[in-house]
């Protein structure tokens, strides 16, 4: 479980394809504080640490994860939003984020809005129904509030702090992002399905 409050950015150091894809990521936090088997949100995808050394940790990424996320396009030097898992008693500053990416959205428009940036994304058709104005979602692991919805498109504000501490300020129109819809929306929709 995560909160969508990014605590660090890292960089992809290496990608190896051998069975599953092995991705090595260099964070700025102390690597000795990470245990093998720990979960880390890597731009919204919950990955398990399988190896580590000085200055990097490695995760094994399955074909299923590659098919639902942008991780398959990662190369050496790709910036990554990182969040360690929520601990009992931690402040829940964003919203409950599972790290189970639902699909890939694309940035279609960006423009200044005061000191912030307004990003407009297009969600995959089947996920659009789960996105509501003033609801929460996670883009590349960052908890955001939806400002408006127009069909499959939705807008969010990226405040200066979020631009400074995440990768979202560096996005350009056309860029793909990991999208996780709000967990509550997912379960309410499931309960309302007809048998």
CA distances from 152 to 78, 122, 171, 186 (A): 27, 6, 19, 16
**Taking residues 169-194, what's their average pLDDT?**
88
Q: What is the reported pLDDT for 191?
A: 79
Note the CATH number of domain 8-83.
2.40.30.20
Domain ranges across the chain: 8-83, 103-192
Distance CA 127, CA 154 (A): 12
Q: What is the reported pLDDT for 165?
A: 96
Q: Tell the CATH topology of 103-192.
A: Elongation Factor Tu (Ef-tu); domain 3 (2.40.30)
Distance CA 143, CA 128 (A): 17
Residue 152 has pLDDT above 90, yes or no: yes
Torsion of CA 159, 108, 153, 145, to 10 degrees: -10
Residue 193 has pLDDT above 80, yes or no: no
Q: Token digits for 38?
A: 């720990």
Q: What is the reported pLDDT for 186?
A: 77
CB 103 within 8 A of CB 11: no
Distance CA 166, CA 163 (A): 6
Contacts of 57 (CB under 8 A, 6+ apart): 24, 25, 27, 31, 34, 40, 49, 51
Residue 140 has pLDDT above 90, yes or no: yes
Nearest Cα to Cα of residue 59 among 20, 117, 116: 20
Residue 195 has pLDDT above 60, yes or no: no
Q: What is the reported pLDDT for 81?
A: 98
Mind listing the pLDDT tens digit for each residue in 86-118?
A: 887 777 788 889 999 999 999 999 999 999 999
Distance CA 88, CA 75 (A): 34
Residues in the chain: 195
CA distances from 175 to 56, 107, 168 (A): 26, 6, 10
Mind listing the pLDDT tens digit for each residue in 26-69?
A: 999 999 999 999 999 999 999 999 999 999 999 999 999 999 99
Distance CA 21, CA 129 (A): 32
**Taking residues 130-150, what's their average pLDDT?**
96
Half-sphere exposure of 95 (CA within 13 A, CB side): 19
**CATH topology agreement for domains 8-83 and 103-192:** yes
């Amino acid at each position: 479980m995560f909160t969508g409050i990014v605590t660090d950015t890292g960089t992809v150091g290496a990608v190896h394809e051998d069975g599953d894809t092995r991705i090595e990521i260099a964070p700025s936090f102390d690597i000795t504080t990470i245990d093998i088997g720990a979960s880390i949100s890597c731009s919204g995808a919950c990955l398990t640490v399988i190896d580590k050394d000085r200055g990097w940790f490695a995760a094994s990424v399955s074909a299923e994860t590659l098919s639902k996320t942008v991780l398959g396009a990662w190369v050496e030097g790709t910036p990554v939003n990182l969040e360690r898992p929520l601990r009992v008693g931690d402040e829940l500053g964003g919203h409950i984020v599972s790290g189970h990416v639902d699909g890939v959205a694309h940035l279609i428009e960006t423009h200044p809005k005061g000191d912030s940036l307004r990003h407009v994304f297009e969600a995959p058709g089947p996920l659009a129904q789960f996105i509501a104005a003033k609801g929460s979602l996670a883009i590349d692991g960052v908890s955001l509030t939806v400002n408006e919805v127009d069909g499959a498109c939705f807008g969010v504000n990226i405040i200066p702090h979020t631009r400074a501490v995440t990768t979202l300020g560096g996005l350009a129109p056309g860029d793909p992002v990991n999208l996780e819809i709000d967990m509550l929306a997912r379960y309410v929709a499931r309960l309302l399905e007809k048998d």
